[in-house]
Amino acid sequence: MVEYKLEVTEKSTKWFNLKDQLHREDGPAIEYAYGDKWYYINGELHREDGPAIEYANGDKFYYINGKLHREDGPAIEFADGDKAYYIKGRFLSETEFNFRRLGQLPNFM
């Protein structure tokens, strides 16, 4: 069983591991009263099954081990429809991303 330290204020609820790093394995490590949710593991933005940052306005940011990363779509999705692609923290154009997914670019990352 994981032990957490909890910090609750009017503006947010934050979960920390025993090393005082933002950390939560079963939900967001920061939940803001206005709706934003941030997922951390051992102090790094991280979520494998969805965006690590979910803004109340609909913007979504996907992180793995503290780096913008998503292999099956854009790592940043703005509510207005804009998007950006990243693999292991490296920006890719949409064309580069699509070629990489099709195996037509070397797996340089």
- Number of alpha carbons in the 13 Å side-chain half-sphere of residue 79: 7
- Give the H or E element holding residue 38: strand 37-38
**Tens-binned pLDDT, residue by residue, of the chain (109 aa):** 789 999 999 999 999 999 999 999 999 999 999 999 999 999 999 999 999 999 999 999 999 999 999 999 999 999 999 999 999 999 999 999 988 877 665 555 4
| Global confidence as pTM | 0.90
**Tens digits of per-residue pLDDT, 3-16?**
999 999 999 999 99
Question: For a pLDDT cut of 70, what percent of the chain falls above it?
Answer: 94
Which tokens hold the place of 101? Answer: 């997914």
- Taking Cα atoms as reference points, which of 33, 65, 36 lies closest to residue 53? 36
CB-based contact 26:12 (threshold 8 Å): no
- Give the H or E element holding residue 53: strand 53-54
Mean pLDDT over each residue of the chain, to the nearest integer: 93
